[in-house]
Chains A and B, each alone.
Chain A
Amino acid sequence: MITRREVLQVGAATAALTAGGAFTRAFAQQRLTEAELLRFDPLGTVTLLHVTDMHGQLMPVYFREPTVNLGVGEAKGQPPHVTGKDFLKRFGIPEKSAAAYALTDQDFEALAKSYGRIGGIDRLASVVKRVRAERGADKVLLLDGGDTWQGSLGSNRSKGQDMVDCMALLKPDAMTGHWEFTYGEARVKALIDGLGFPFLALNIRDTEWNEPAFEPMKMFEKGGVKIAVLGQAFPYTPVANPRWMMPKWSFGIREEDVRANVEKARKAGAQLVVLLSHNGFDVDRKLAARVAGIDVILTGHTHDALPEAIAVGKTLLIASGSHGKFVSRLDLDVAGGAVKGYRYKLIPLFSDVIAPDAEMAAMVAKVRAPFAADLKREVGRADSLLYRRGNFNGTFDDLICAALLKERDAEIALSPGFRWGTSVLPGQPITVEDIHNATAITYPQVYRTAMTGERLKEVLEDVADNLFNPDPYYQQGGDMVRCGGLGYSIDISKPIGSRISGMTHLKSGKPIDAKKEYTVAGWASVNEGTEGPPVWNLVERYIAAEKTVRVTPNTSVKISGV
């Protein structure tokens, strides 16, 4: 049986700064110490460390958590669909505290100046080493939930090698994936061959014979407990990303295969069953309620950072955030093949507080060296906060859309609702690295095409259903497609085909005509043979011409049915 959830532990990170604005960076750091951030009263004999969705980020980042993250169906109003002040209230976090800064959008600009960047794989390495040393390496499993090898200039140019080389120093015990597959079968196989630890994915089969294409699980023994780790890759990789890049692999949730592997693990003597998942939180919540025998699901994909474990029946769901901001520590007391108790802490890696690991810092410098000149090159300056994360729009996407409209002379721009992409503070230079942190994919071509109003509505309806279908198994886990030059209303409670209305061509103020053709520019098309310049070139040219970028709040999407 699982004991009552532990009191929120975000270390000393709940200590609030004095309200009223006089919080200097030095003062903020005084309040936080590495020892307190990592302080943990150990429990049982097993420790799981979990990182996920690092998206190619080796350095500490600014990443603003979402303002809008709506849940539908049974997930409505449930974590992770709680944001801002409601989030602080739900988890008992003081306003303006370090935890408030790490976990929400509240006072982001001011708190970012006080608390600084979060993350950095060298800080992560410090924490991993310390936990292994204090706990005993024979009790610790380090698991990587995937979306590790993609999302930055260095990752894209090295085809994931920079992340693989740095992660190798951390010595993870297993990983699974999603964007990894967009490097193509040959590259993925070559990287996996050199990992030295298993890449687990029970839900991928080959398209020819419908047979398992990856190792489904791995058995470990830690702290005297037999642990089965099952891997679940992102089920909709060939739908949300180009299928032509991975034609021999077929994915899917494959609930039956999850069930079969759990049973197999138990039969093989597993006393603890862990699903290392890239399903997305809502999918995992449903899965946990339907598949018996999973003790822990380490969730990923939807980039949620929750300071508590969420229990679904006897299964614990852990959400460890994204972009290298956090590492989760879950201590488990396992006896007689059951979890008797647990203690959990989501550790925010405040980069000013946690000392970097020297060995990892040297490796980061080494893998970044070939691109160093590009990475730091300043293209322009931000006059307002640039961020992406949120269900409907983000200022970085508005900037990308403005670039697409201008540089490709289009009436309407479409930009994918990815959940990765870092933030730039007002007053900061916008570097080439910042641009790539929002655009670095292996299919970056910006197309220019004609679409009828009817087709545009179909696209919006289709993507909205990926996000707001009340059955999580039909959700893909991205955010809504971002639009430039196009406004609309959305009722998220309606079924597909009825959510979108009031589509307006913003420049003329006229309603979108179903039969009229509009010139549309967009990027990240999943179609093979898409032609056009890479999106980062257009964005760079646009920012260079603008010099200083100010993005005003986007009010062109009206939301209802919440």
Chain B
Amino acid sequence: MRQLSRRAALLLGASGAALTIAGWNSDAFAAAKDAADDIAKFTGGKTAEKGKVSIELPEIAENGNTVPLSIAVDSPMTADNYVTDVLVVADGNPRPGVATFHFSPLSGKAEASTRIRLATTQNIIAVAKTSKGEFFTAQKLVKVTIGGCGG
């Protein structure tokens, strides 16, 4: 729980959004949950449209244990049209769920930053849900390397 609150605090400090952290699975041998299932559950089976969501992540991680992640959704964030939640999944982690960010019109901007852990090279997928029931998505491949032979 200490890790959860530290991350949550970091996030709140950055953007004022609330956060639910999925956490790193304590059972390392648990089968990897399919990221697509998580997304389907989040969207209720709807297909998310590409666009509006931007993900800021390095192309190659400097340290897979703590990769800086920022997400932003292009939204007016008014009472009748705002981003309610953003789901972030990592499709190559033992458990794909990374975080769900919760927003309200009072958030002002649908932006959040945190640091995530990546076990291996994989896609990070963000899906945003709006108050109008729309879904938008973006993804980015982050490479986790052994490193050491460049130059």
Contacts and interface: CB of A to CB of B under 8 A. Distances in A.
A140 interface: no
A458 interface: yes
B1 interface: no
Interface stretch (A78-86, A416-424, A429-437, A506-514): A416-424
B22 interface: no
Interface string A400-435: 000000000000000011111000000000000000
Given A252-B58, A256-B56, A474 B148 contact: no
B151 A252 contact: no
A477 B150 CA distance: 6
A473 B140 CA distance: 12
Nearest to A477: B150
B146 A459 contact: yes
Given A250-B62, A256-B56, A474 B143 contact: yes
B151 A178 contact: yes
A240 B56 contact: no
Contacts of A418: 151
Main secondary structure of the interface of B (DSSP, over half): loop
Contact of B149 (A420, A463, A474): A463
Nearest to A497: B121
Interface in B1-40: none
A73 B141 CA distance: 17
Contact of B68 (A250, A416, A481, A525): A250
A416 B62 contact: no
Given A210-B68, A458-B146, A239 B60 contact: yes
Most chain A C-beta atoms within 10 Å of own C-beta, residue among B60, B68, B143, B145: B60
B59 interface: yes
A179 B151 CA distance: 8
B99 to A, nearest CB: 17
B75 to A, nearest CB: 18
Nearest to A420: B151
Interface in A210-269: 210, 235-236, 238-241, 243, 250-253, 256
B59 A239 contact: no
A469 B121 CA distance: 13
A422 to B, nearest CB: 15
Contacts of A526: 147-148
Given A252-B58, A458-B146, A477 B151 contact: yes
A57 B63 CA distance: 33
A524 interface: yes
Interface string A178-200: 11000000000000000000000
B18 to A, nearest CB: 21
Interface residues of A, number: 39
B151 A253 contact: no
Contacts of A478: 149-151
A476 interface: yes
Interface string B98-133: 000000000000000100000001000000000000
Given A210-B68, A250-B68, A496-B121, A473 B147 contact: no
B149 A416 contact: yes
Contact of A466 (B62, B113, B149): B149
A178 B151 CA distance: 9
Contacts of B62: 238-239, 243, 250-252
Given A210-B68, A243-B63, A256-B56, A417 B149 contact: yes
Nearest to B141: A474
A462 interface: yes
Contacts of A210: 68, 113
A471 B141 CA distance: 11
Nearest to A482: B149
A474 B58 CA distance: 10
B33 to A, nearest CB: 23
B64 to A, nearest CB: 11
A240 B147 contact: yes
B36 to A, nearest CB: 21
B150 A474 contact: no
Contacts of B61: 239
Interface in A160-183: 178-179
A235 B59 CA distance: 10
B145 A466 contact: yes
A204 to B, nearest CB: 11
A239 B145 contact: yes
B59 A466 contact: no
Given A210-B68, A238-B62, A250-B62, A524 B149 contact: yes
A465 B145 CA distance: 9
Contacts of A525: 148
A474 B151 contact: no
Contact of B147 (A178, A239, A471, A496): A239
B145 A481 contact: no
B59 A252 contact: yes
Most A CB within 10 A of own CB, among B56, B59, B63, B149: B149
Contacts of A241: 148, 150-151
A150 to B, nearest CB: 9
Contacts of B113: 210
Contacts of B149: 240, 416-417, 463, 466, 476, 478, 480-481, 524
Contacts of A252: 58-59, 62
Contacts of A417: 149-151
* For the complex of A and B, 9 pairs with smallest distance between CB atoms: A240-B150, A476-B150, A478-B150, A526-B148, A462-B146, A238-B62, A252-B58, A473-B59, A416-B149
Given A462-B145, A476-B60, 18 more contacts: A179-B151, A235-B59, A236-B60, A239-B150, A241-B148, A241-B150, A250-B68, A252-B62, A256-B56, A418-B151, A463-B146, A463-B149, A465-B145, A466-B145, A466-B149, A474-B59, A477-B151, A525-B148
Interface of B: 56, 58-63, 68, 113, 121, 141, 143, 145-151
30 contacts: A179-B151, A236-B60, A238-B63, A239-B60, A239-B61, A239-B62, A239-B145, A239-B147, A240-B147, A240-B150, A241-B150, A243-B62, A250-B68, A252-B58, A252-B62, A253-B59, A416-B151, A417-B149, A419-B151, A459-B146, A462-B147, A463-B146, A465-B143, A466-B145, A469-B143, A473-B59, A474-B143, A478-B149, A478-B151, A481-B149
Interface of A: 178-179, 210, 235-236, 238-241, 243, 250-253, 256, 416-420, 458-459, 462-463, 465-466, 469, 471, 473-474, 476-478, 480-481, 496, 524-526
